[in-house]
Structure 1
Amino acid sequence: MPLLSPSGKHLSLHQLMAMSTMMSLPAHSKHVQLLIPTGGGEGTSDVAAHQLYLSQPIQDHLRRVYDTLCDRERSLTYDNFVSWLESTQGQLMEVPRKESYLFEEFLAVLYYNDGFEAVKEAMPKDLSKPISNYFISSSHNTYLSGNQLSSKSSVDSYKTVLLGGCRCIEIDVWDGDAAEPIASDVSNLSTSPKPEHKRHLSATNLPSLAAEAAGKFSATYKSVKDAVKDRKGLGIHLLGMEKGNKSSESLAEGDLIERPPSTKPIRNGEPIVLHGWTLTAPVGFRDVSQTIRETAFKTSELPIIVSLEVHANLEQQQIMVDIMKEEWKGILIDVAHETCNPDERVPRLDELLGKILVKVKKSTSPTPEVLSTSTLGPLHYRNPSNNSLGPSSKPFSSSSNSLAPVNSRHEGDSCSGSEDERSSKKKTKICEALSNLGIYTHSEHFIDFTAKNCMKPSHIFSISENQILELHEKKREEMFAHNRDYFMRAYPAGFRFDSSNLDPSLFWRKGVQMVALNWQNIDEGMMLNEAMFAGEKGWVLKPPGYRSDTSETIAYKTLHLKITIYAGQNIPIPQNQEHGFHPYVRCELHVEKPDESKTVEMVEGNGRAKGGEYKQKTPYGKGDHPVFGNDGILLDFPVVTGVLEELSFVRFKVENAKYTMDSLAAWACVRLDRLQHGYRFLRLFDVKGAATRGLILIKVEKTVS
């Protein structure tokens, strides 16, 4: 039977597609499964554009909008349509010229021109600036799949973050055990050694002992947890043994300790990747390197920075170099380009497409030249200046005595810290061959902004969140001036054993290029990261006033924001909360506070992500297709001064109203300069960062002056 319009005429294929895909409920409308998690701006789902449909309440709201635009003859004219697009939607688009438009045609024009999207498409990127002039989507302890104490190290974590848009990853490298081959399967490591082969704690056998302890701890913890659950029906958090429900923005309970074993064995004698001085299980450095090679440039050609935290001895470091040159042949920056002297400048972004840069500390003194103990054959690199092949660097090695791992830290630091800030009685030395890979991105220990090492264009200071906030209080202008020209990396403070995240917007506003986050935990910090890098391929050009090549001042503005919430559809329902689901929308504005640029005491939570300063919420609705009245619910934020749109964010959380603690059901986060005016669909992610079919119809009224 042919589909007819309200006037009785047959609909065109274009109109038929619009109606059949936007106005009818699909037979199978379950929420989509995670393909690539969000957090880095490149999350995707299997929700194809043609699968969008509109629930009846949302159709009714849009019909009312259409009716207000119609003339006395109840038809929408071309002039009225174009005028509404410009004044209400703030959007110019091609509208096929007609005398009038049916409701279905009104929807089709908007739909096929992205007229419903709340988030503006990312602009074409200027790649001509020095790489220090960009914010970079960054991961902290990339190898971890869960918390900082007992979760598994996994190569899949690297695949996940790289496909999700991360461009700065971290590898924590330790000595492999040559005498006792380490398998990744924790169950094989839990067997105690025979008494006659008693092992002593050293840098070499620490990883195997840690893995063995992890297996025992895992079994013990699971038995205790199950016993308590059987008795009281309550969950237990790893830290603090909290009873009852946890915040749904924190790590899922199962992720804390129960983990599947890896299937790949670690090659005998090769370095391993794990979280030192914890119960995390290791993976092989070669496996990590191979995974990086396979996924590095699948979604983007923009470069990747590999941040190495090295605890391996000199002999193992040479093996690291051999592995990287073999696995990353042709994409590793292992020699300086003849037109880009690292003592004079860092490369432009367009000079590094498809390349991997290594961030590592520089060697402090020459190391003795010895024959490589690696079983790898001779390696060659391709010289980018003449496209010719040449031999790799000569191998270096240490004596047979292993260096002791780092065993003390600055106050406030912890196992979640960085190699640049950990203080020890005996620091790990870096061999020359490895040091030579830190060409345009090398680690420097921060002393002061007047120190000599501040003048090297390629230096990177890795500083904990707490110390950066202290520097902001005491040396605000010096730090901001430094970050206009040179790299700084922020990493989470030591109290974040549960892999919670800092508020990255605080540090972006201080010019910090790399704010390292725990990607395995979709909390406020990762939501803001998603908004910052949505569609940006992991690199965002800093706004004027933050870059080295401009004398322009920062363009602070005054903001008045109104958001009306009308209705939602396909809201993801949290597990075991299908009955009595009462969703409401909480909207938070993340902007620089008036006193944030002056003193650290005024920064709420000392850098901890605790929610936006300006908050509004709706009453609760009912079910996964909630309606908030014919006129919607207006969330009118007070006028805010000193706003920089490029570094401000609007975060939406759909929460389930309960008698006890409300739980997160879905969320969305948008950078303010990309939040579009007018009637828009806000697309939702679930608590694990999966894109869903869920959306909310909103109206945005944004005045920036």
Structure 2
Amino acid sequence: MKRQYTAFPTEHFEDCLMRNSHRSIQISEKQSKIYNALTVASIVSNSAGVDTSRSAWLSVDTVKEFMESQQMQSVSEQDVTNIIQSFEPDNVMRGKNCLSFEGFACFLMDQSNFAFVNEANSYEEQDMAYPLSYYYIASSHNTYLTGHQLKGESSVELYRQVLLSGCRCVELDCWDGDDGYPVIYHGHTFTTKIDFLQVVKIIDRSAFETSCLPVIISIENHCCLAQQTRMAAAFKSIWGEKLVSKFLFDADFSDLSVLPSPLQLKNKILIKNKKIICEPPLLLSDRAVPKVTDIHVFI
């Protein structure tokens, strides 16, 4: 049998594997056939118990029953016929008004059945004008962990992935590093450690690539004053104007004071961290170590 080869652009390969990707990647008819064949081969059954790999086709009645009992949609026979005519790739099967396994798989993974609707992710600016405390915020706990909480691997890449997927609050568990700079890991466990500066840099690159809404950095701070000072310096130098390090508006100290709105904080990074109340010991002051309070916390 003669082998068939096709070329997918490397940067688009992942999107080609996700039928409902947020990008509109155009592929050729030949590439589409190969993709659909791979898709069909990867599916055996589904949670609805419809196993079409062992039967040649689905009748109109079977599809109608599936739509009503599993999809909770009331459909007519004409609606089912329209589905078959739209998604069945085989001319003979379409002529018999039957849905093959491949057609059924194409229907299930079509964008019209995609659970995530882009329009639902959009928002009107006036909806983002309320105080920050009025909103649920997509948050990540132990963001750096790829798996097991006690012995898993830590990864800088996970910060990029969660931010690109819409997460607006990530966690940094900061501990003293041997080289004078903090490391991030799940303390007192066997999880691996990652470099603090690499995390700060990848947050800078990824924070607002897919959303302009503010990002909250939740810090679990276990570092000594000297390394906290280096943390503050890194935040300022790498994030620059993105970092909220001073009041953006007139301070409101009334009993009815409220937090700024997401609109007012567009493309801004906020730090959530326990603030040190007392002054550094004289021993550290004599060494001219800057105060940690040189960088303020605004949430």
Scaled by the length of structure 1, what TM-score is found?
0.27
Match of 1:293 among 185, 204, 217: 204
CA RMSD of aligned residues (A): 3.6
Question: Hey, what's the Cα distance between the residues in 2 that align with 1:274 and 1:342?
Answer: 37
Tell me which residue corresponds to 2:263: 350
8 Å contact 1:145–1:153 — kept in the other structure?
yes
Q: Does the C-alpha gap of structure 1 residues 371 and 331 become closer, same or farther in structure 2, counting only changes over 3 Å?
A: farther
Tell me which residue corresponds to 2:19: none
Question: Hey, what's the Cα distance between the residues in 1 that align with 2:176 and 2:114?
Answer: 50
Question: Hey, what's the Cα distance between the residues in 1 that align with 2:241 and 2:270?
Answer: 12
8 Å contact 1:318–1:372 — kept in the other structure?
no
Greater helix share, structure number: 2
Q: Is 1:359–2:220 an aligned residue pair?
A: no
8 Å contact 1:340–1:346 — kept in the other structure?
no
> Secondary structure, in 3 states, of the residue corresponding to 1:173?
strand
Q: Is 1:313–2:174 an aligned residue pair?
A: no
Moved over 3 A (4+): 55-62, 64-69, 114-121, 339-343, 368-373
Structure 1 unaligned regions, length at least 5: 1-20, 33-54, 77-102, 104-113, 178-267, 374-394, 397-430, 442-705
> Secondary structure, in 3 states, of the residue corresponding to 1:337?
coil
Question: Hey, what's the Cα distance between the residues in 2 that align with 1:327 and 1:337?
Answer: 19
- Following TM superposition, by how much is the alpha carbon of 1:159 offset from its aligned partner in structure 2, in angstroms? 1.3
> Secondary structure, in 3 states, of the residue corresponding to 1:308?
strand
Q: Residues 20-419 of structure 1 correspond to what in structure 2 (within 5 A)?
A: 26-29=33-36, 30-31=38-39, 57=58, 61=63, 65=75, 67-68=77-78, 121-122=119-120, 124-125=123-124, 126-177=127-178, 268-341=179-252, 344-367=257-280, 369=285, 395-396=290-291
- Following TM superposition, by how much is the alpha carbon of 1:162 offset from its aligned partner in structure 2, in angstroms? 1.1
Tell me which residue corresponds to 1:433: 294
Q: Does the C-alpha gap of structure 1 residues 115 and 158 become closer, same or farther in structure 2, counting only changes over 3 Å?
A: closer
Question: Hey, what's the Cα distance between the residues in 2 that align with 1:298 and 1:56?
Answer: 44
- Following TM superposition, by how much is the alpha carbon of 1:115 offset from its aligned partner in structure 2, in angstroms? 5.9
Render the CA deviation track for 1:583-611: whole Å, top value 9, x for unaligned: xxxxxxxxxxxxxxxxxxxxxxxxxxxxx
> Secondary structure, in 3 states, of the residue corresponding to 1:432?
helix
Question: Hey, what's the Cα distance between the residues in 1 that align with 2:57 and 2:267?
Answer: 47
Render the CA deviation track for 1:57-95: whole Å, top value 9, x for unaligned: 387737x956457xxxx9x9xxxxxxxxxxxxxxxxxxx
Give the length in aligned residue pairs.
210
Render the CA deviation track for 1:504-537: whole Å, top value 9, x for unaligned: xxxxxxxxxxxxxxxxxxxxxxxxxxxxxxxxxx
Question: Hey, what's the Cα distance between the residues in 2 that align with 1:58 and 1:326?
Answer: 64
Question: Hey, what's the Cα distance between the residues in 2 that align with 1:176 and 1:298?
Answer: 30
> Secondary structure, in 3 states, of the residue corresponding to 2:170?
strand
Q: Does the C-alpha gap of structure 1 residues 31 and 320 become closer, same or farther in structure 2, counting only changes over 3 Å?
A: farther
Render the CA deviation track for 1:355-406: whole Å, top value 9, x for unaligned: 1100011222123546666xxxxxxxxxxxxxxxxxxxxx22xxxxxxxxxx
Structure 2 unaligned regions, length at least 5: 1-27, 41-55, 68-74, 83-96, 98-110
Question: Hey, what's the Cα distance between the residues in 1 that align with 2:175 and 2:251?
Answer: 32
8 Å contact 1:143–1:153 — kept in the other structure?
yes
- Following TM superposition, by how much is the alpha carbon of 1:275 offset from its aligned partner in structure 2, in angstroms? 1.4
> Secondary structure, in 3 states, of the residue corresponding to 1:300?
coil
Scaled by the length of structure 2, what TM-score is found?
0.60
8 Å contact 2:132–2:259 — kept in the other structure?
yes
- Following TM superposition, by how much is the alpha carbon of 1:432 offset from its aligned partner in structure 2, in angstroms? 2.1
- Following TM superposition, by how much is the alpha carbon of 1:26 offset from its aligned partner in structure 2, in angstroms? 2.7
8 Å contact 1:366–1:432 — kept in the other structure?
no
8 Å contact 1:367–1:432 — kept in the other structure?
no
- Following TM superposition, by how much is the alpha carbon of 1:342 offset from its aligned partner in structure 2, in angstroms? 6.9
8 Å contact 2:146–2:158 — kept in the other structure?
yes
Question: Hey, what's the Cα distance between the residues in 2 that align with 1:371 and 1:301?
Answer: 41
Render the CA deviation track for 1:248-295: whole Å, top value 9, x for unaligned: xxxxxxxxxxxxxxxxxxxx3211111111112211111110011111
8 Å contact 1:289–1:327 — kept in the other structure?
yes
> Secondary structure, in 3 states, of the residue corresponding to 2:230?
helix
| Alignment-mate amino acid for residue 139 of structure 1 | S
Tell me which residue corresponds to 2:108: none
Greater strand share, structure number: 1
Q: Residues 492-641 of structure 1 correspond to what in structure 2 (within 5 A)?
A: none
Question: Hey, what's the Cα distance between the residues in 1 that align with 2:253 and 2:261?
Answer: 12
8 Å contact 1:340–1:347 — kept in the other structure?
no
> Secondary structure, in 3 states, of the residue corresponding to 2:273?
strand
8 Å contact 2:60–2:77 — kept in the other structure?
no
Question: Hey, what's the Cα distance between the residues in 2 that align with 1:157 and 1:345?
Answer: 32
8 Å contact 2:197–2:234 — kept in the other structure?
yes
Render the CA deviation track for 1:18-58: whole Å, top value 9, x for unaligned: xxx9xxx93333249xxxxxxxxxxxxxxxxxxxxxx9638
8 Å contact 2:216–2:270 — kept in the other structure?
yes
With CA pairs under 8 Å and 6+ residues apart, which has the higher RCO, 1 or 2? 1
> Secondary structure, in 3 states, of the residue corresponding to 2:174?
strand
Tell me which residue corresponds to 2:12: none
- Following TM superposition, by how much is the alpha carbon of 1:338 offset from its aligned partner in structure 2, in angstroms? 2.6
Question: Hey, what's the Cα distance between the residues in 2 that align with 1:329 and 1:308?
Answer: 18
Q: Does the C-alpha gap of structure 1 residues 148 and 326 become closer, same or farther in structure 2, counting only changes over 3 Å?
A: same
